[in-house]
Structure 1
Amino acid sequence: MTHSPASTDPAEGGAGTLVVIGAGPKALAVAAKARVMADLGLPAPRVVVVDQHAVGGNWLPLGGWTDGRHRLGTSPEKDLGFPYRGAPHRRHAAQINAGMLEYSWMSFLVAHQTYTEWIDRGRPNPHHNVWARYLEWVAAKSGVEVRIGTVEQIRLADAGGWTVGYRTPDGVVEGVHGDGLLVTGPGSSDEPLLDDPRVLSVSKFWNAVSRREIPASSRAAVIGGGETAASALDELVRHEAMSISVISPAPTIYTRGESYFENSVFSDPTGWPSLPAPERRDVIRRTDRGVFSVSVQSNLLADNRINHVRGRVTRARRDGESVTLTLDNPGCTSTEQSFDLVVDATGGRPLWFLDLFDAETLDELELAIGARPDLRTLEETIGHDLTVTGLASPLYLPNLAGFAQGPGFPNLSCLGELSNRVLRSAVDRSAIRSDAQTVRSR
């Protein structure tokens, strides 16, 4: 890539500061593109990332969501720059997208001399730990500022912007201020349905896997129908269990759609907001939420121990040597089933970050959306730039943007478009602040 003579360092804050919670693919997509923009001499925000564990931590055993040995459910070619279309500075789109190729999955493989092998092996989806190494490589190459610590408080600053307080591994409380806040990640993976040794949260399950302490069971259950449950099930079938039930509200275990027509909706969200709301929710339900990847489904087809039980788990209790689950289905009487091992793989809580907001910030959020912040209300208020409409200081919530802006934003399907929208918003808002300061100074 040819560097512009006017190259600037994003750490100089040419378009303010963007604080990101979570050092995963979304954070790195934004940070890498900000680096490219700065290298071209274009306005770009300083990006500061705060993560509890490490870059790519949720793709490693230490993050509690995987053992790192299962395969990515999405093609790695949908990398941090995909779909390489458009840019925060539209007149420089070709240059910016060319610059992002330096942070592509292919460039990572070339840099590690494994590209030929990957091609010759049929371009397999990488294991989670390899995907984490790709993210670590991008972080090092882009020079993004990463701070390791557990976020303990998020608040709107009196003078505008956001202040994020976090505790470092050695116990020191520190803070970082930004003009905008981007929240990524699924939150904690250690919240089981029932505090019982026979009920494993996602984190406890993978810890048990790493220690080779998954107990033998006659009747095991995995609660959940999404990719978190799919990975847990893909692992559980390798252990001793006479039967394994997958419990989800859907009538069956759906396979993620991988045709051109389904994929294109994720890659190009241009026409998504024009679809009627029921159709949008139907697409998400059929292709993203509560579905297993094709590769996992293929692995499970031949195993006759696996069965599906329809229902939403509303209660769990210990009953002798078993755990009894209460299952509800619309229009039907509740039923109960007992298991001797339960893996609660329903995934993270979408609104986990609200627990970190102080009271005043929660009040401001409620005023902005005109209602108490619940999942459906927040989903419906996400604007084109992936922020909560109505808040003076931008709060970017791509994980909640699927319904309003496109199903690819919460996952790995259009990280390049996600970074376009976030960075364009940051640059435009910085220009407005600068103009306002100029007017006040006159």
Structure 2
Amino acid sequence: MTTRPTPTLAVVGAGPKAIAVAAKAAELRGMGVDVPDVVAIERSVVGANWQAVGGWTDGQHRLGTSPEKDVGFPYRSSLVPRRNAELDERMMRHSWQSYLVASAQFADWVDRGRPAPTHLGWSRYLRWVADNIGMSVITGEVQRISTDGRRWELVTPRQIVHADGVMITGPGQAQRSILPNDPRVLSIAQFWERAARPDLIVAERVAVIGGGETAASMLNELFRHRVSTITVISPQVTLFTRGESFFENTLFSDPTDWASLTMAERRDALGRTDRGVFSARVQDALLADDRIRHLRGRVAHAVARDERIRLTLSSNRGGEALETVHGFDLVIDGSGADSMWFEPLFSQDARDLIELALRAPLSGDALQESIGHDLSVAALTPKLFLPGLSGLTQGPGFPNLSCLGLLSDRVLGARYPDVAPHPSTRRTDEHQPVR
């Protein structure tokens, strides 16, 4: 008998999703279960987007999700019949509580009332898990993704990685902004770099574009600076609070009934619980500061004029399209993640193959509606896993941190077509465990 080659799953980004999948794969392998080889390709460091180096935070603000929703949560594995309890027990070795015990922080954390860790503290936990499993990480930025119709080819500055499946994670680049060459308009990364300086930000009128948690963290930081008014610009009619009751949280942890909802009901649920909403903790801080204002609309145009940044906002009032212009001394573009940030990476042959599977031009809407149970684009070979776009079809917890254990089940439970023998693309220095 010939041994069937082991598939390779390449993950773009070494964040929580990559670590969750790699950790479960390691434990399954320890149980004697065949799983893909998981390798992450990371342009910076493990957990970079939770540290200042990633540009999305200064690392000092609090995690919006409970840390108990760690890489194994909700600990209801379904991959190994009659052995799933064993798998969950093994995954508990990588839990948030296990990390605190191992680092002598558990009693202190409990005595303080189980506070949310800082983003930097969360990144230390992720690094700890990656270290424990000897996670394979290639340091380098993916520059292009192409395909021969059977496997993916991921090009980095130093090497080419071949894979039978690709999972794309992360929010993209934190450097983009509506006016990238004007010092009075800051991207997310530029804002955190500026906020880290010893001198405070001084401005009369500040605008923050965005109504999600990225914008919320920046608002929390702005409170300590010398600014007179802070205007939050978002498409919503007001600044909504994320639903955090048992019923809303269950949607994230257990999407069993998600498929029974209509598309309209799903979109409504996503809008109420996840997209463009602030956590209750952040809303409490906003209520205590009378400098905060809200403007409804989308930024249609930005221009520097008369020593100010003029933003043209478009909105719909009573079925009528309206445009208004507002001037600010400082604008912070915190509109958040771009769910399609990876699209320019695809070569033309990859785009053609994806569009053939979609039976439609490549777009965010088409991809969202195509995501199947294993979080990959249906009918596409080789496998392309897009958990960041899976909320609409599979449940709101998969794009974020709310059910990483269930996410890893879905991805590792994917069926690959027969993997033909192929020359290994690995070198001795190619996949180095995290040190």
TM-score calculated relative to the size of structure 2: 0.93
After superposition, residues 91-110 of structure 1 pair within 5 angstroms as: 91-110=82-101
**Structure 1 residues 13 and 69: alpha-carbon distance in aligned structure 2, compared to 1, 3 A threshold:** farther
Secondary structure in structure 2 of the residue aligned to 1:336: strand
Whole-angstrom distance in 2 between the partners of 1:416 and 1:402: 16
Q: Judge conservation of contact 1:87–1:96 (CA < 8 Å) in 2.
A: no
Compute the displacement of 1:89 (Å). 2.2
Secondary structure in structure 1 of the residue aligned to 2:77: coil
1:206 matched residue in structure 2: 192
1:406 matched residue in structure 2: 395
Q: Judge conservation of contact 1:180–1:393 (CA < 8 Å) in 2.
A: yes
The residue identity in structure 2 corresponding to 1:61 is: A
The C-alpha deviation readout for 1:302-330, integer Å capped at 9, x for no partner, is: 10000111111111000121101001111
The residue identity in structure 2 corresponding to 1:250 is: Q
Answer yes or no: is 1:63 the counterpart of 2:38.
no
Q: Judge conservation of contact 1:14–1:45 (CA < 8 Å) in 2.
A: no
Compute the displacement of 1:86 (Å). 2.4
Compute the displacement of 1:294 (Å). 1.3
Answer yes or no: is 1:424 the counterpart of 2:413.
yes
The residue identity in structure 2 corresponding to 1:162 is: W
Compute the displacement of 1:213 (Å). 5.4
Compute the displacement of 1:13 (Å). 9.7
Answer yes or no: is 1:187 the counterpart of 2:172.
yes
Compute the displacement of 1:166 (Å). 1.1
Whole-angstrom distance in 1 between the partners of 2:351 and 2:6: 27
Secondary structure in structure 2 of the residue aligned to 1:308: strand
Q: Judge conservation of contact 2:195–2:201 (CA < 8 Å) in 1.
A: no
Compute the displacement of 1:333 (Å). 2.0
The residue identity in structure 2 corresponding to 1:395 is: L
Q: Judge conservation of contact 2:210–2:335 (CA < 8 Å) in 1.
A: yes
The residue identity in structure 1 corresponding to 2:113 is: G
**Structure with greater helix percent:** 1
Whole-angstrom distance in 2 between the partners of 1:250 and 1:212: 35
1:144 matched residue in structure 2: 135
1:45 matched residue in structure 2: 36
Q: Judge conservation of contact 1:14–1:43 (CA < 8 Å) in 2.
A: no
Compute the displacement of 1:14 (Å). 7.1
For structure 1, which segment, 294-303 or 120-129, has the greater mean C-alpha deviation from structure 2 after superposition?
294-303
Answer yes or no: is 1:343 the counterpart of 2:332.
yes
The residue identity in structure 2 corresponding to 1:401 is: S
Q: What runs of 5+ residues in structure 1 fail to find an aligned partner? A: 1-11, 168-172, 438-442
The C-alpha deviation readout for 1:123-159, integer Å capped at 9, x for no partner, is: 011000010000100000011101111110111135x
Q: Judge conservation of contact 1:281–1:403 (CA < 8 Å) in 2.
A: yes
Answer yes or no: is 1:333 the counterpart of 2:322.
yes
The C-alpha deviation readout for 1:403-422, integer Å capped at 9, x for no partner, is: 01000000000101100000
Q: Judge conservation of contact 1:317–1:323 (CA < 8 Å) in 2.
A: yes
Secondary structure in structure 1 of the residue aligned to 2:18: helix
* Alignment match of 2:304 (pick from 296, 318, 334): 318
For structure 1, which segment, 208-217 or 408-417, has the greater mean C-alpha deviation from structure 2 after superposition?
208-217
Secondary structure in structure 2 of the residue aligned to 1:29: helix
Compute the displacement of 1:301 (Å). 1.4
Identity %: 50
1:176 matched residue in structure 2: 161
Whole-angstrom distance in 2 between the partners of 1:54 and 1:121: 30
Whole-angstrom distance in 1 between the partners of 2:276 and 2:351: 30
CA RMSD of aligned residues (A): 1.5
The residue identity in structure 2 corresponding to 1:191 is: R
Q: Judge conservation of contact 1:53–1:149 (CA < 8 Å) in 2.
A: yes
Bigger relative contact order, structure 1 or 2, given CA contacts below 8 A and separation 6+? Answer: 2
Whole-angstrom distance in 1 between the partners of 2:81 and 2:370: 26
Whole-angstrom distance in 1 between the partners of 2:188 and 2:148: 35
Compute the displacement of 1:332 (Å). 3.8
**Structure 1 residues 96 and 14: alpha-carbon distance in aligned structure 2, compared to 1, 3 A threshold:** farther
The residue identity in structure 2 corresponding to 1:359 is: Q
Whole-angstrom distance in 2 between the partners of 1:13 and 1:115: 44
* Alignment match of 1:164 (pick from 131, 150, 154): 154
Whole-angstrom distance in 2 between the partners of 1:417 and 1:283: 20
After superposition, residues 123-142 of structure 1 pair within 5 angstroms as: 123-142=114-133
Q: What runs of 5+ residues in structure 2 fail to find an aligned partner? A: 422-435
* Alignment match of 1:253 (pick from 220, 223, 239): 239
**Structure 1 residues 14 and 120: alpha-carbon distance in aligned structure 2, compared to 1, 3 A threshold:** farther
Secondary structure in structure 1 of the residue aligned to 2:159: strand
2:352 matched residue in structure 1: 363
The residue identity in structure 2 corresponding to 1:183 is: I
The residue identity in structure 2 corresponding to 1:71 is: R
1:73 matched residue in structure 2: 64
Whole-angstrom distance in 1 between the partners of 2:337 and 2:159: 26
